[in-house]
Structure 1
Amino acid sequence: MLDLWKMRQKTHQKQMFKYLRYVLNDHFILALLFILGGLALSYSNYLKALSPQAEIWYAKPLVLLILVISLQVGRLATLLKPADIVFISPRQAEMGQYLQKALQSSLIFAWVFDTLVMLALTPFLLVAAKLTVVQLIFLWLLLLVLKYLQLERKLLGLYQAQFASGRWKWFLDIGFCGLLLGTSLYLDPLYLLLVAALLTGYIDKSKKALTTQAVFNWEVAIETENERMLQLYRFFALFTDVPNLQVAAKRRRYLDRLLPQAKPGGSFTYLYWRALVRNGETSGLVLRLTVLGAVILYFITEPWLALALAVLFVYLLGFQLFSLYHHYDEVVFMHIYPLDPGNKQKAFQKMLGQLLFVIAVIFTLVSWIQLQNILFSLEFLGVLVLEIVLLTRPYLKGRLAKRA
């Protein structure tokens, strides 16, 4: 089983690196640098504005909320496949070794993420919460132990359904972890770390008994792993085509009145708007990037940085939606019906321009709320409109010509 895990892990890593090549492209790296730079600048300005003498009352509750949320990131990656229920189930007694390797591998990612979150919160905790360096170290260790307990709970849930229930998730992952973290922020974290360590020893003992005596729930384990992989594929689908991801169209009847209706000469306009709305991945991409851009702009106080980020988000949205132009190319009826091919590009340009203009207006309003400068807001909107015209006219035509 250890050899099987090594083979599965190697195949999985190879697949992830393949998709990461598309994720970590020049556009995404540039966007990430702008976003992180803007957030770091705002964070630094916020810390400088805090009083070095007074303790901020909301500092510890805010940190508690962030830490509890960060603990929910990172799932148990078993790398099990549907066929395993037939071919590997006879070796169920050896699943304990396999799952232990899966737990160790999952912990690496989870601990790295939690450590980065803790490093980001360290300046805020030192300035606003007045914690000492020693207290921060114990708090960080407590965070790592609690993440280990969460993954252990998920592993036990593959043997006994009660550990996988929502009640246990709320009790251990949120309630118990929140109680220990919250108490450690106000008291000495060392004592809470000892409590978490003792509970870890008890759960480890229970795990050994379960993995040797209880029956492994193959259906739950495979379904859980499929859900985890589906989330990864949805993320990768933002950057490239993912063959493993099956996207189902959703009707969304409540949006019909807002969309263009069928009329002579407007077939492509009718089709493109419905492809945008009914495709869960595409509409989800637009919604997520718009909300993310608006939230980031709300916290940016530098006008030039806010404008640069807005330009970047509009470009990313437009660039990601270019693939929608070929959405109906493989539909045979598009080549049978008497549709004018010249209307296709015009309809797509119009749809994309209208959508990006609405997003530009949203970004402008958010920027105006933060900066309170009406003249700059008009210039802000003017720059975004100019970008939209360039994106939907010469740039889009050039992209389509290269692909033709």
Structure 2
Amino acid sequence: MINAKELFRTRIRTHIKEVARYLQYIFNGHLAIAMIFLIAAGAYYYQQILAELPENFPTAIVMSFFCAIILVYNPIQTLLKEADLVFLLPAEKRLNRYFRSALLYSYFVQLYLVVLLLAVLAPLYFTSYPDQSFSFYSMLGFLLVFLKGWNMAVTWWMYKIRDNNSRYVDVGIRYLLQFFTFYFLITSEFVFAGILTITLFLFFYYGYYLSSKHSLAWDQLIEKDQLRMRSFYRLANMFTDVPYLKAKVKKRSFLVQVLTRHLSFKQDKTLTYLYRITTIRSGEYLGMYIRLLIVGSFVIYYLPHVWIRILFGLLFLYLTAIQLMTIWYHHRTNLWMDLYPITYPQRQQAFVCWIRQLLFVHVCCYGLVFLFIGYWDQAILFLGLGSLFIIAFTESYFKQKTQPSA
């Protein structure tokens, strides 16, 4: 006899324990410092923007846009395993309590997004609508929490529909209905908001009616869970070794050829070649490297003050360096690394030199951003400070972290 309640308790305890173990590596001291700096700077500039907010700023559209996104984004963690297709699928009718618990868990976990959104949008709302009371904004918050639960239920019902196009249409219609519902509420058009709310719940009922004709798509639920956990493991793998993560290798022949064709076939270049193709062909490093470069360039471009630009440029160099540090540990479980006729100092030097080259590319690109916005003197200053930062950081932190363990 399957005890659905005890089964969920066992799996949720295991899941929380595993996630918490990796979160302590993700939110280490380096990332915490960077996040505090980013939040403080973001809050400062948010306040500056609100102080100069134009009267015709589309606050209602902006708020409705983000509210609707939060409502239709409903990942459901069922904690199902591949073996459940064999051992639990025949007992699906006795697992209603298990799935209700999974749905409630997913709902309460997602509420932090609602709280963050309400906290971020509150200054914008009261700046644009100073005559509105806090009670009305609280009503919007309660409505957001209420509709979040209904959207979670509809998402669960639609998991019974195997046609992906039907699910995409469902999400699109729900997004539009809830976007305009919040828009009319914020602009005090309550009649239109009421009509759209009724239409929305009729659409919810239609989703329930469609799903009642189908059974759960267990294979898709398991696949969704695996995709979410794989994304989490990829993030955690930037900070520590994750044995559950299956590394994906991509060919990328052109990039490999560009980076390796000028390397000589000498013994001391062995690790240089290895670290270069690892960065390019691995599924984790190149995408992260390019994303940080793009985001850093946009941040530098849009920030108004020179020293803030330079500080953020150095901050993104720091973040990139910390993420690239994981390349050193990429091959640590491969015993054949010890068979290379390469001394440990040679391996360390090859790694540090490659990371420096990658970081210098970022410095040059950020310098081009400074030139693009018309400040050649700032570009020269950043190139100098960035180069000093790279040399100092790699000489101190990287060489310390790559010392052989006693």
Q: TM-score, normalised by structure 2?
A: 0.85
Are residues 103 and 333 of structure 1, via their aligned partners in 2, closer, same or farther at CA, if it must alter by over 3 Å? Answer: closer
Give 1:156 deviation, angstroms: 0.8
Correspondence for 1:26: 29
Correspondence for 1:84: 84
Say whether residues 1:277 and 2:283 are aligned partners.
no
Are residues 341 and 238 of structure 1, via their aligned partners in 2, closer, same or farther at CA, if it must alter by over 3 Å? Answer: closer
Correspondence for 1:127: 127
Query: Which one-letter code corresponds to 1:40 in the other structure?
Result: A
Correspondence for 1:301: 304
| 1:337-377 CA distance string (max 9 Å, x none) | 6557654333322211111011122233445656x543333
Correspondence for 1:249: 249
Are residues 106 and 192 of structure 1, via their aligned partners in 2, closer, same or farther at CA, if it must alter by over 3 Å? Answer: farther
Query: Which one-letter code corresponds to 1:319 in the other structure?
Result: I
Give 1:274 deviation, angstroms: 1.0
Distance 1:73 1:362 in 2: 35
Correspondence for 1:381: 383
1:316 aligned to which of 314, 319, 337: 319
Distance 1:217 1:172 in 2: 22
Q: Is the 8 A contact 2:74 2:151 kept in 1?
A: no
Distance 2:42 2:153 in 1: 34
Q: How does 1:165-176 map to 2 (within 5 A)?
A: 165-176=166-177
Say whether residues 1:11 and 2:14 are aligned partners.
yes
Are residues 84 and 201 of structure 1, via their aligned partners in 2, closer, same or farther at CA, if it must alter by over 3 Å? Answer: farther
Say whether residues 1:237 and 2:245 are aligned partners.
no
Question: Which residues of structure 2 form unaligned runs of 5+?
Answer: none
Are residues 403 and 67 of structure 1, via their aligned partners in 2, closer, same or farther at CA, if it must alter by over 3 Å? Answer: farther
Correspondence for 1:143: 144
Q: Is the 8 A contact 2:300 2:366 kept in 1?
A: yes
Are residues 150 and 120 of structure 1, via their aligned partners in 2, closer, same or farther at CA, if it must alter by over 3 Å? Answer: same
Are residues 326 and 29 of structure 1, via their aligned partners in 2, closer, same or farther at CA, if it must alter by over 3 Å? Answer: closer
Question: Greater shift after overlay, 297-306 or 259-268?
Answer: 297-306
| 1:38-61 CA distance string (max 9 Å, x none) | 11111111111224xx232x4333
Give 1:205 deviation, angstroms: 9.7
Q: How does 1:155-194 map to 2 (within 5 A)?
A: 155-162=156-163, 165-188=166-189, 192=193
Distance 1:37 1:341 in 2: 41
Give 1:178 deviation, angstroms: 2.9
Q: Is the 8 A contact 1:361 1:381 kept in 2?
A: yes
Q: How does 1:203-222 map to 2 (within 5 A)?
A: 203=204, 207=208, 214-222=214-222
Distance 2:380 2:389 in 1: 14
Q: Is the 8 A contact 2:160 2:211 kept in 1?
A: yes
Are residues 92 and 2 of structure 1, via their aligned partners in 2, closer, same or farther at CA, if it must alter by over 3 Å? Answer: same
3-state SS, counterpart of residue 403 of structure 1: coil
Query: Which one-letter code corresponds to 1:390 in the other structure?
Result: A
| 1:44-86 CA distance string (max 9 Å, x none) | 11111224xx232x43333333333444544111111111122
Q: How does 1:319-358 map to 2 (within 5 A)?
A: 319-331=322-334, 334-336=337-339, 343-358=346-361
Distance 1:50 1:205 in 2: 42
Q: For this pair of structures, how many residues does the alignment match?
A: 399
Distance 1:77 1:341 in 2: 44
Query: Which one-letter code corresponds to 1:291 in the other structure?
Result: I
Query: Which one-letter code corresponds to 2:172 in the other structure?
Result: F
Q: Is the 8 A contact 1:156 1:164 kept in 2?
A: no
Distance 1:171 1:326 in 2: 43
Q: TM-score, normalised by structure 1?
A: 0.86
Give 1:37 deviation, angstroms: 0.9
User: How well do the aligned residues superpose, as a CA RMSD in angstroms?
Assistant: 3.1
Q: Is the 8 A contact 1:153 1:164 kept in 2?
A: no
Give 1:36 deviation, angstroms: 0.6
Distance 2:6 2:332 in 1: 45
Q: Is the 8 A contact 1:145 1:196 kept in 2?
A: no
Distance 1:142 1:8 in 2: 31
Are residues 329 and 199 of structure 1, via their aligned partners in 2, closer, same or farther at CA, if it must alter by over 3 Å? Answer: closer
3-state SS, counterpart of residue 259 of structure 1: helix
Q: Is the 8 A contact 1:125 1:131 kept in 2?
A: no
Are residues 98 and 341 of structure 1, via their aligned partners in 2, closer, same or farther at CA, if it must alter by over 3 Å? Answer: closer
Q: Is the 8 A contact 2:250 2:281 kept in 1?
A: yes
| 1:180-227 CA distance string (max 9 Å, x none) | 33443444358636854785588479759967x743221122112112
Q: Percent identity?
A: 25
Correspondence for 2:93: 93
Query: Which one-letter code corresponds to 2:123 in the other structure?
Result: P
Distance 2:74 2:203 in 1: 22
Are residues 194 and 226 of structure 1, via their aligned partners in 2, closer, same or farther at CA, if it must alter by over 3 Å? Answer: farther
Are residues 232 and 328 of structure 1, via their aligned partners in 2, closer, same or farther at CA, if it must alter by over 3 Å? Answer: closer
3-state SS, counterpart of residue 322 of structure 2: helix
Are residues 298 and 125 of structure 1, via their aligned partners in 2, closer, same or farther at CA, if it must alter by over 3 Å? Answer: farther
Correspondence for 1:152: 153
Give 1:155 deviation, angstroms: 0.8
Q: Is the 8 A contact 2:12 2:79 kept in 1?
A: yes
Are residues 291 and 65 of structure 1, via their aligned partners in 2, closer, same or farther at CA, if it must alter by over 3 Å? Answer: farther
3-state SS, counterpart of residue 280 of structure 1: coil
